[in-house]
Structure 1
Amino acid sequence: MTYQNLPSISECDTFLKGKNLPHGKAVREQVNNVLDQVRIEISKKPEKYVSEANSEILERVAAQVRTQTQTSQRVINATGVVVHTNLGRAPLSEHLLLKVLPDMSSYSNLEFDLRTGKRGSRDSKIRKLLRTLSGAEDAMVVNNNAAAVFLMLKALNGKETENKKPEVIVSRGELVEIGGSFRIPDIMREAGVKLVEVGTTNRCRIADYEQALTENTAALLKVHPSNYEIHGFTESVSVDKMTKLAHSKGLFCFHDWGSGSFYKFRQRGLSEYSTVEQELSFGPDLLTFSGDKLLGGIQAGVLLGKAENIQRLRNHPIYRALRLDKVTLGLFEATLEAYLDFKTLADKVPTVGLLELTCVEIREKVNNFLKMLNFPNNTSWICKLRETDSRTGGGALPELPINSVALVLSHPDWSSNELQNWFRSQDVPVIVRIHEDQIWLDFRTILPQDNEELLRIFSLLISTYA
């Protein structure tokens, strides 16, 4: 192929228009980027560059435009991070989506009591499910865990003394920032409570909490550190000890757990992570966690605790602004129902299924995939199976390695960055990771429905570029 054979800008525009994609000046930069990349590929080693028809180049242009102009689309997660915040966190199963579809596409008894014929509560079913699964006296759900923490603290504003803000005591080592600049001190300020820091970054004792108590203290707050851990000379106070201290002084103890599940994982290392029921046994007045992390559901913030504390939150005016819509409510209900039967849970909640995969099962996935690939005899592609470590993601056990198997790909004429960009530019982008200057695809996070598309993408790559 020579530069003269490349499609013109007008040909690209016509092709994009036929695909119902943006075209013209709006996407001129993306079109030129693809054509420039093809020119580079030809110039690098023309004798090794397999001739590419104009139609194939036009498809690449379309893929680039599609990637740059779509705000949300399906991707293949080959990073090995199961609950990947940037990739939508927990994937939902087709089974659950189809289960709620009839209710979403018609009228429903969202806030109507069929027994009495009067107005009902939109979350009555979800409250019952959460009570059954957790053993808590009562429960409620808001739109994410940040909202749950905010509401939990905001409801303390009835505890002012002489116009002074209620004080909430937190360890300095737990004043964390997580994704999207969510900072605990900022949330506390916006909730109208006064932050009282105790201890140091690496060490905090129960005596630090005791010494910080004043007549304005309203609560002690335990915060899961999420995506970081401190090692070495460290000390922290358990929820159990904090709760006992708080209750001995007539105060609340709140626990922002971040990521929780009702299921006891069997996976090595992950099995050490406590369940919701275990965390509640330590006695916090309120426990909060996300619905779309380890739990494997849709975005939601769960609050569990004593009935009187939950009712106080439900009565707060801000609750209406934080409650779930009917779609989220339906999908979260379906997820919780799956937890009623642990035997079928892994099939219905993909996050659980992916985290419980063994190395033997993943290796079999990779080998089956390789059997379907047809590498040319004279290929320069180097493809190997390597053991690797997956991660849970979502802030739960951030440093826990979960044994996995990856497909490692390299080519003497391609840099790892070029390959990464190529995979990301496909109709269904493949998100890979770079390690040792090679492309790694961790098959733990590649879903069963991804196999056919990933095979098509690999076949395109090895047949087009020798």
Structure 2
Amino acid sequence: MAAPEESVVHGSTARPQDLPSVDQLLRGDTPRALLAEHGRTLVVGEARALLDGLRTRAVAGTLPAADVQPEALAHALTERVQARIAPRMRAVLNLTGTVIHTNLGRALLADAALQRLMTLMTSPNNLEYDLGSGGRGDRDSLVEELLCSITGAEAATVVNNNAAAVLLTISALAREREVIVSRGELVEIGGAFRMPDVMASAGARMVEVGTTNRTHPHDYERAINEHTGLLMKVHTSNYAVQGFTAAVDEATLAGIAHARGVPLATDLGSGSLVDLAHYGLPREPLPQEMLAAGCDVVTFSGDKLLGGPQAGLIVGSKAAVGRIRKFPMKRALRMSKLPLAALEATLSLYLRPERLAQDLPTLRLLTRPADAIREMAEALQPAVQAAVSPRFTVEVVPLLGQIGSGSLPVERLPSAGLALAPAGTAKKGLGTALDQLATALRGLPLPVIGRIAEDRLLLDLRCLEDSAPFVAQLPLLRDALQ
């Protein structure tokens, strides 16, 4: 068989015998460079896979002769190697209009958190080492003082997400006992994370009280007995019951619980540590308010309104948090050094509240003026129009975005952006044209994620603080649409 440099292929299609062996394929300059850069294991594996695929097409009579030429083979091998080592998790441009997007990584980390990560991850650190005593330390101590200072809690601990925080709290405080919760608070969030299922997984027996729309103090009082281990409140941030409703507030519920010697826990979920109303945003209950009302434990997320890494934060009384920290499940759910470092840096920003809207990306994006967003849209419109013409038209439009898909999902943020619509396409062809456009945007080196609504592809610019990376890709978008 001839080496790749000496192709003997004739005609428009290649035969199986026209393909080189793996060794022959690897003799070229480009494959040798790949071997030097990536090593033999990866390159040889991809070479075999490449030739197997080409052989299948050759047997079927569908392999163009040009595909087995030396340059084509070298190029195909290079692409396979690069694709194999390319990261699956990639940065994207979030132009959906949802600031804290569950599927797009939720909160962006602040510069201070990124700098802390870079500093600590390139050297050993005191994750579990007490620099004062020279002995073993507790990783909770890295953030406990900050959490207590900000929320007013007596004690605090952290786990890898808020679902884990809720699960651990129920397990530690009420395993093999009853947990009383309002029927109107049996929420499902995220990927089928249901409160009844969490109760069962924690080994607790759930006791529902009240009705879907109305729960009263006497409902809890009548349900408490010698088997009760915990009273539970769940903040229903992802839905609302309107009309003829009633619920028991934490202060009233704390009085009921403590009079009978039962702890009270509340799950706030979204985790705001500042009053968002001060920034013109919808108000969310704060952990410090729940603690002041008498809750023994408050759980909330780190990567939603708090603006940090994924984490489940647990604050409360020394007695309750102490039981949670000592529960065996805690070790399985603990945070690693990466998110802990980012969480500490993020929490430190709250010590300077005057700078928070500037330093915390989540709050900065949520408070970005709609007028400034519209100005950016108007500046970008000509360049985007040039990239998608003549297939699409581009219009600057006012938009309403979301704070988060799991945090205040029903609230709307006035925003602005670009509406891309097919030009001269029949009604039945609109969906196909928009899907092709959305696919082209997602296929860019820095994928652009928008949303399709009302026969248009909408690019909400609230989360686009720097338009340069977007503009730099417009020539590639134009090529993809040709």
TM range (shorter): 0.7 to 0.9
| Residues 456 and 116 of structure 1: CA distance in aligned 2, closer, same or farther (over 3 Å) | same
Q: 1:341 aligns with which of 352, 367, 370?
A: 352
| Residues 378 and 93 of structure 1: CA distance in aligned 2, closer, same or farther (over 3 Å) | closer
What are structure 1's unaligned runs of at least 5 residues? 1-7, 33-54, 159-164
Letter paired with 1:258:
G
Q: Distance in 1 between matches of 2:237 and 2:174?
A: 27
Identity across matched positions, percent: 39
Q: Distance in 2 between matches of 1:315 and 1:176?
A: 28
Q: Distance in 2 between matches of 1:172 and 1:407?
A: 43
TM-aligned CA deviation for residue 191 of structure 1: 1.3
Are 1:439 and 2:457 matched, yes or no? yes
Contact 1:267 1:356 in 2 (8 A): no
Q: Which residue of 2 aligns with 1:152?
A: 169
Contact 2:178 2:229 in 1 (8 A): yes
Matched position secondary structure for 2:276: coil
Matched position secondary structure for 1:434: strand
Letter paired with 2:442:
R
Letter paired with 2:188:
E
Contact 1:260 1:294 in 2 (8 A): yes
- Describe how 1:202-281 pairs up with structure 2 within 5 A: 202-266=213-277, 270-281=281-292
Q: Which residue of 1 aligns with 2:448?
A: 430
Q: Distance in 1 between matches of 2:111 and 2:51?
A: 35
Letter paired with 2:207:
V
Contact 1:407 1:440 in 2 (8 A): yes
Q: Distance in 2 between matches of 1:404 and 1:374?
A: 20
| Residues 257 and 388 of structure 1: CA distance in aligned 2, closer, same or farther (over 3 Å) | same
Q: Which residue of 2 aligns with 1:81?
A: 98
TM-aligned CA deviation for residue 156 of structure 1: 2.2
Once the two structures are superposed, residues 118-145 of structure 1 have per-residue CA deviations (whole angstroms, 9 ceiling, x without a partner) of 2222221300111111111111111111
- Describe how 1:57-72 pairs up with structure 2 within 5 A: 70-72=87-89
Matched position secondary structure for 1:156: helix
Once the two structures are overlaid, the 10-residue window that deviates more, 255-264 or 116-125, is 116-125
TM-aligned CA deviation for residue 297 of structure 1: 0.5
- Describe how 1:347-386 pairs up with structure 2 within 5 A: 347-370=358-381, 375=386, 379=390, 381-386=392-397
Q: Which has the higher contact order (CA 8 A, sep 6+)?
A: 1
Q: Which residue of 2 aligns with 1:4?
A: none
TM-aligned CA deviation for residue 147 of structure 1: 1.1
Contact 2:440 2:481 in 1 (8 A): no
Q: Distance in 1 between matches of 2:278 and 2:455?
A: 30
Once the two structures are superposed, residues 302-328 of structure 1 have per-residue CA deviations (whole angstroms, 9 ceiling, x without a partner) of 011111211111121221111111111
Once the two structures are superposed, residues 135-168 of structure 1 have per-residue CA deviations (whole angstroms, 9 ceiling, x without a partner) of 111111111111111111111257xxxxxx3111
TM-aligned CA deviation for residue 78 of structure 1: 0.7
**Of the two, which has the highest radius of gyration?**
2
Contact 2:387 2:477 in 1 (8 A): no
Q: Distance in 1 between matches of 2:136 and 2:311?
A: 24
Q: 1:166 aligns with which of 169, 177, 185?
A: 177
Are 1:300 and 2:318 matched, yes or no? no
Q: Which residue of 2 aligns with 1:161?
A: none
What are structure 2's unaligned runs of at least 5 residues? 1-13, 20-27, 58-71, 426-431
Structure 1 segments (4+ residues) deviating >6 Å = 16-23, 25-28
Contact 1:381 1:410 in 2 (8 A): yes
Q: Distance in 1 between matches of 2:278 and 2:150?
A: 21
Once the two structures are overlaid, the 10-residue window that deviates more, 75-84 or 364-373, is 364-373
> How many equivalent pairs are there?
419
Are 1:132 and 2:143 matched, yes or no? no
Contact 1:83 1:89 in 2 (8 A): yes
Once the two structures are overlaid, the 10-residue window that deviates more, 384-393 or 112-121, is 112-121
Q: 1:193 aligns with which of 204, 208, 233?
A: 204
CA root-mean-square deviation: 3.4
What is the TM-score of this pair, normalised by structure 2?
0.78
Contact 2:388 2:478 in 1 (8 A): no
Q: 2:332 aligns with which of 321, 331, 335?
A: 321
